Amino acid sequence: MLTRTSEYALRALIYLTQNESDWPISGRTIAENAGIPAKYLSKILGDLVKCGVLQSFPGKTGGVQPSKPPNKTMLRDVLAPFEQFENRRCPFGSLECSDDHPCLAHNRWKHVVGSQDRFLRVTSVYDVAVPMPGSQSEGECRGMNEANEMPTAVLRSEHKVILRVIEVLKRLVARAKSGEGFEKHCLSRCVTFFQLFADACHHAKEEDLLFPALEYRGMPRDGGPIGCMLEEHRAAREFTRLMAEALEADEEDAFCSAAKQYADLLTQHIQKEDTVLFTLGDNVLTGDDQESLCGKFCDVGCGTFGGKKQTELAAMADELESRWPAT
Ligand SMILES: [Fe+2]
Ligand SMILES: [Fe+2]
């Protein structure tokens, strides 16, 4: 569903990432090796320089290279100059299709769009350009889930990891508020964990796999627990965005306010899922549904999120907790 221009932009970034030792690389070399018409590429590279994804170096040995390390350059950043991400209209039905006036496909289509958006936001150029050394094999991955057997048990165990980092976040906010110090580096690690482990991995399993399976078995999306959970995921994303922004701007009060709201929201959200939604889910999902979901969870868990495997993200929770233990 990407335009030709977007596809060329991605191809150029992938070529640059795979040939880091040659940076900066001329447009002509990229065009020849990545199979992109040179004139077309020159305009694309200019746009990527303008929006800060690439930096350019003049002269005979000049060229372009990524402004940030490729594992920090998300696919969405590369595509942003060429794609209309905001206010994307549903391609079916009328011109006025919206949440308030949905066409017949709107509610299903918006989840496809949401899932694509999430993939582009959390997948870096590095993730798609360079194979991960020692990445989880399917066997290892299946082994992780087998211990849990039920898909809701997998999600419940992820909740415990998320809650441990929420406790660290709360301790660090209390420390900042009491004037003992604003631990920016560790707070930034917490936010990265929430963005990648909680949102990109865990919420994706719920939104793209569990909730549609529950709907298929008759649980309504709108006006029921699924709709409520989706709304809370959206609010949680907004709080992580605010936390990241406040950290970037060194605004301690704004960070502490967003962090408190995030911690409160996600704690009660997890409690509702554990005690209500997952219990209902265990009753309506068939054995085949459960087995299929566990397999699909494995597929998600075997991926990388911002260049990190799920096990590496879980290790971040251990590291943060041991650095800032409960007293
Ligand atoms: Fe959730
Ligand atoms: Fe959850």
Predicted confidence (pLDDT) per residue in 160-205, tens digit: 999 999 999 999 999 999 999 999 999 999 999 999 999 999 999 9
Q: In whole angstroms, what is the distance from residue 82 CA to residue 63 CA?
A: 21
* pLDDT at 119 > cutoff 80: no
Q: In whole angstroms, what is the distance from residue 229 CA to residue 271 CA?
A: 11
Q: What is the pLDDT of residue 141?
A: 47
Residue among 149, 142, 158, 155 at smallest CA distance from 291: 149
Q: What is the pLDDT of residue 134?
A: 46
For residue 233, the CA-to-ligand 1 centroid distance in Å is: 6
* Same fold: 4-129 with 138-323: no
* pLDDT at 138 > cutoff 70: no
Spell out the domain ranges in the chain: 4-129, 138-323
Q: In whole angstroms, what is the distance from residue 86 CA to residue 90 CA?
A: 12
* pLDDT at 143 > cutoff 60: no
Instruction: Kindly state the average pLDDT of the residues 68-86.
Output: 89
Q: What is the pLDDT of residue 300?
A: 86
pLDDT band at 111 (very low <50, low <70, confident <90, very high): low
Ligand nearest to the CA of 162: 2
Ligand nearest to the CA of 236: 1
The structure tokens listed for 74 are 């998300």
Q: What is the pLDDT of residue 167?
A: 97
Q: Where are the alpha helices (DSSP H) in 38-193?
A: 38-50, 75-79, 106-122, 125-129, 138-146, 151-177, 184-193
Looking at residue 68, what DSSP letter applies? Answer: S
Can you name the CATH fold of 138-323?
A: Four Helix Bundle (Hemerythrin (Met), subunit A) (1.20.120)
For residue 261, the CA-to-ligand 2 centroid distance in Å is: 17
Q: What is the pLDDT of residue 145?
A: 47
For residue 282, the CA-to-ligand 2 centroid distance in Å is: 14
For residue 247, the CA-to-ligand 1 centroid distance in Å is: 25
For residue 250, the CA-to-ligand 1 centroid distance in Å is: 29
pLDDT band at 224 (very low <50, low <70, confident <90, very high): confident
For residue 221, the CA-to-ligand 2 centroid distance in Å is: 16
Kindly report, residue by residue over 280-301, the tens digit of the pLDDT.
999 999 988 888 898 888 888 8
* pLDDT at 136 > cutoff 80: no
For residue 45, the CA-to-ligand 2 centroid distance in Å is: 40
Mention every residue, 6+ apart, whose C-beta is less than 8 A from residue 315.
none
pLDDT band at 24 (very low <50, low <70, confident <90, very high): very high
For residue 193, the CA-to-ligand 1 centroid distance in Å is: 15
pLDDT band at 130 (very low <50, low <70, confident <90, very high): confident
For residue 270, the CA-to-ligand 2 centroid distance in Å is: 6
Query: Which has the minimum average pLDDT: 24-28, 89-93, 281-285?
Result: 89-93
Q: In whole angstroms, what is the distance from residue 107 CA to residue 222 CA?
A: 10
CATH of domain 4-129: 1.10.10.10
For residue 308, the CA-to-ligand 2 centroid distance in Å is: 20
Q: In whole angstroms, what is the distance from residue 283 CA to residue 150 CA?
A: 12
For residue 239, the CA-to-ligand 2 centroid distance in Å is: 16
Q: Is the pTM of this model over 0.85?
A: no
